[in-house]
Amino acid sequence: AQTVTQSQPEMSVQEAETVTLSCTYDTSESDYYLFWYKQPPSRQMILVIRQEAYKQQNATENRFSVNFQKAAKSFSLKISDSQLGDAAMYFCAYGSGSRLTFGEGTQLTVNP
């Protein structure tokens, strides 16, 4: 069974600074996808970024980028120029056949 581990229960960053959230996973499959979701207090799960395992190039979405290390089974999220609206719980997820396995989450605080 696949597992996803987020070793940082909480992180904080100053507004306009950069922060990196860590995620590792375990799988024996070769074809899969990885995701970062954001969950603000509204409970809405918002897709931040998605990475296909077969692609070596790291995904980027505006201020959000990932560092995907397939051999190390590592998938970290970098948030640049942090904004107050980035404050939320961030979940790393492993996807196989559209079924997602989530990590335990990292609560991100953005300090003004």
Partner 1 sequence: SAVISQKPSRDICQRGTSLTIQCQVDSQVTMMFWYRQQPGQSLTLIATANQGSEATYESGFVIDKFPISRPNLTFSTLTVSNMSPEDSSIYLCSAGGHANEKLFFGSGTQLSVL
Binding of partner 1 at residue 98 (CB under 8 A)? yes
Instruction: Tell me the per-residue interface mask from 13 to 52 with partner 1, x by CB under 8 A, - otherwise.
Output: -------------------xx-x-x----xxxxxx--x-x
Binding of partner 1 at residue 90 (CB under 8 A)? no
Using the minimum distance from each CB to partner 1, give the nearer residue, 16 or 47: 47
- How far is the C-alpha of 91 from the C-alpha of 104, rounded, in Å? 7
Using the minimum distance from each CB to partner 1, give the nearer residue, 26 or 104: 104
- How far is the C-alpha of 29 from the C-alpha of 38, rounded, in Å? 25
Cα dist. 17→60, 79, 82, 89 in Å?
17, 8, 5, 18
